[in-house]
Amino acid sequence: MRWATRLLHTGHEMDPATGALSVPVYQVSSFHQFSPGQEQEYDYSRSGNPTRKALEETMADLEGGGHGFAFASGMAAISSVLCLFSQGDHIIAGEDIYGGTYRVLTRLFPRFGFDVSFVDTADLEKLTAAFYPHTRAVYLETPSNPLMRITDLRAVAELAHARGALVVVDNTVMTPYFQRPLELGADIVVHSATKYLAGHSDVIAGVAVVREAGLARELGFIQNAFGAVLGPQDSWLVLRGAKTLKVRMEQHQTGAMAVAAWLAGRPEVEEVYYPGLSSHPGHELHFSQASGASGLLSFRLVTAESAQQVLARSRLPFRAVSLGSVESLISMPARMSHASLAEEHRHRLGIDSRLLRYSVGLEEPEDIIADLEAALRGEDRGR
Ligand SMILES: Cc1ncc(COP(=O)(O)O)c(C=O)c1O
């Protein structure tokens, strides 16, 4: 089946008991044990819940991997995956990963005794030099965000596997519709399902998908033991959002392409970061491993004043830390999503007060452009 069909015929499109065309929300904590002492699929919803399972199986199918796990947030998914590692292990992480991931890697997990190095994973020489004998994983985002650097997933998988390390990819920005890292050699994919997968600014959720059965058993153990599971109602919201993933992602991309091309021609804009533009340095590599560029872009204004002006005066986008929603969202990463990066680290990366990130929503691209133009002209249309 092709994508639009697969999203609607996941194996969970109908309730076999009633014929209902939506997975029922099993809002339940405990299940009656019909024959005590004998195995049955569900006993307690932390260990397993039918609505959550429908989402987990759907995500495993979409990512082309074997086993899906749904968590209470993207950070719960990421932190649960990090629980696969132990005292004495070393992890290499991308240097411009999401600020919340940077925060747990620098301020929480080191308490339990593992080391982290931050490296530009797009630079394979630097990445190769960062391995130690005790390196157990490479953790990355491609495109990274907000700077949209592209990492060669096939090359990193080869490098890491030759050194006995796993590859973990945060695929939030691309979604499996555009990019499936497990098919390119990664071992684990994580998502903030809060973003494009659910898509409607109405739920906080996370997902992890792993290819290999042994890793799946370990992550399943952690999911149940650590307990940061996604509730049934929220699992249902992500399932509902995912049904329209293809049409939303196509439209997000059409809008982002138009906005990026328009911004690239503006004198107030110094640089546009969007892998869909053929001028983007990672454009070719990106399209060798993904089928689209998604709906997220960043741009650096010539002056901090114009960045502030666009942030304050645009009328359509909400000023919000999130991305991947039906509504356009604008943010200043230095002050919002990436504020938890150490200041000197942020500066080295170029995440400063001239950089804005725009998650292009499903509004008409012409309206988004007209709004940005008015904001750049200085018209006060802000909320
Ligand atoms: C790329 C990326 N990964 C992970 C997360 C964390 O997800 P959540 O906010 O659902 O915990 C975010 C949230 O902004 C994100 O943008």
* Beta carbons within 10 angstroms of residue 250's beta carbon: 16
pLDDT in tens, 51-79: 999 999 999 999 998 899 999 999 999 99
Of 79, 190, 194, the residue with max ligand 1 atoms within 8 A of its CB, to mutate for a pocket test, comes to: 194
| Identity of the residue numbered 355 | L
Report pLDDT digits (tens) over 263-315: 999 999 999 999 999 999 999 999 999 999 999 999 999 999 999 999 999 99
Residue nearest to atom 14 of ligand 1 (CA): 322
- For ligand 1, the distance from its centroid to the CA atom of residue 337, given in whole angstroms, is 9
- Residue to substitute in 75, 80, 104 for testing ligand 1 pocket (most ligand atoms within 8 angstroms of CB): 75
Question: What structural domains and CATH numbers belong to the chain?
Answer: 3-29+38-242 (3.40.640.10), 245-377 (3.90.1150.10)
pLDDT of residue 288: 98
Ligand 1 atom at minimal distance to the Cα of residue 173? 1
Cα(98) to centroid(ligand 1), Å:
7
Coil, strand or helix at 343: helix
DSSP code string of 150-210: ---HHHHHHHHHHTT-EEEEE-TTTHHHH--GGGGT-SEEEEETTTTTT-SS----EEEEE
Measuring from each residue's beta carbon to the nearest atom of ligand 1, which residues come in under 6 Å? Answer: 73-75, 98, 100, 141, 145, 170, 172, 192, 194, 204, 206, 322, 337
Query: Which residues are registered as beta bridge partners of 367?
Result: none
The protein residue whose alpha carbon is closest to atom 16 in ligand 1 is: 98
Give me Rg for the CA atoms of the chain.
21
Q: Which of 136, 195, 248, 313 is catalytic?
A: 195
Q: Quickly state the pLDDT bin for 383 (edges 50, 70, 90).
A: low
Cβ neighbours, 10 Å, residue 176: 26
Residue 96 a catalytic site member: no
Q: Which of 61, 170, 187, 371 is catalytic?
A: 170
Ligand 1 atom 9: the closest Cα is on which residue?
Answer: 74
Q: What is the DSSP secondary-structure string of 108-159?
A: IGGGGT-EEEEE-TT-HHHHHHT--TTEEEEEEESS-TTT-----HHHHHHH
Q: How far is the CA of 205 from the centre of ligand 1 (A)?
A: 9
Question: Is 98 a known active-site residue?
Answer: yes
User: Which residue type sits at 4?
Assistant: A
Handedness of CA 372, 378, 381, 383 (dihedral sign): positive
74 alpha carbon to ligand 1 midpoint, in Å? 5
Catalytic choice (98, 177, 196, 274): 98
Distance CA(329)–CA(318), nearest Å, equals: 5
pLDDT digit string (tens) for 319-376?
998 999 999 999 999 988 888 778 888 888 899 999 999 999 999 999 999 999 999 9
* Catalytic annotation, pick one of 6, 46, 154, 319: 46
- Per-residue model confidence (pLDDT) at position 340: 78
Q: Please compute the mean of the pLDDT values over residues 81-104 and round it to a whole number.
A: 95
pLDDT digits (tens, 9 = 90+) for 216-259: 999 999 999 999 999 999 999 999 999 999 999 999 999 999 99
